[in-house]
A and B are shown apart, each in its own frame.
Chain A
């Protein structure tokens, strides 16, 4: 996405406090015991959510995060490493394999906390570019985003006015709101929730869309 450079300076990324299990070497090996493995998945799931929420990452690319290349295409606001250190603990020299990371995302998908871009369940090799599946990480689900946008519109008395999508996430007015800087695709998803409920209507072309709230 083409975020202006100014946005990046807005919130200086503070360092993320990794939970205790991140410093536990076996955490990066898929556990053989069923119950242990489930506990492991749950811990990974909450770690991924907390990590993405902290860095305001809306999408996670497995190839970018598991392999340690720097050019992740997720979000310009994130620190240059992106999600690089999420699945890779440099200090411990431990890494969650791509297959295991995919399993984590799949677990999160079943919990309604992730969704593979382009659909699918992640087990079939992603449609997008080879093995690197990209997934939405719902530290807030589209429904939750929709709710926040709705209450912001309500609070600022903008029902009935037309706002551009750009305005909603990049405009001066929404600076300070939780959805400022929201990924455009995710914004679409959230607005679709409102459209379905009859609370909003979307106009316009691809690149200059507007939305009206009721």
Chain B
């Protein structure tokens, strides 16, 4: 199994940390992982993206042009990354702020109202975990128990009290994901 993912959105949405938690979850179940961020000027208030790879084999290139899954969280990223999903691959997006919806016919498309659900939970910072939950519902490549272990590893001890809240957010995301197009 090899899953090549791009997560793309605005800086501050938790794109990089979502990728990091996913990568840590992979380590918890003995997978090879890589996490390659966009870094530099675009991070400071602009778009941010990260390539995450989980695999049972040695990972070759951490830098890719085509992905199994794209998780898209703003319009700029939709414009840039919709075309990079491999044929037969998966696109997950949050419709909040999206004005041009995905139009590919050869990929599976899902949406999750991450921003809306996070606001309903009363904590907008749960946004990225809601989206992660939605992704894991579509592609259960890591077990929830390993995600919790990954959270423990990637969060500093003083934030461990927030883990149950994050678990709730992941579960909410799993329940909230909607199929837009199944090929």
Do A and B originate from a single complex? no
Binding site for B on A (CB under 8 A): none
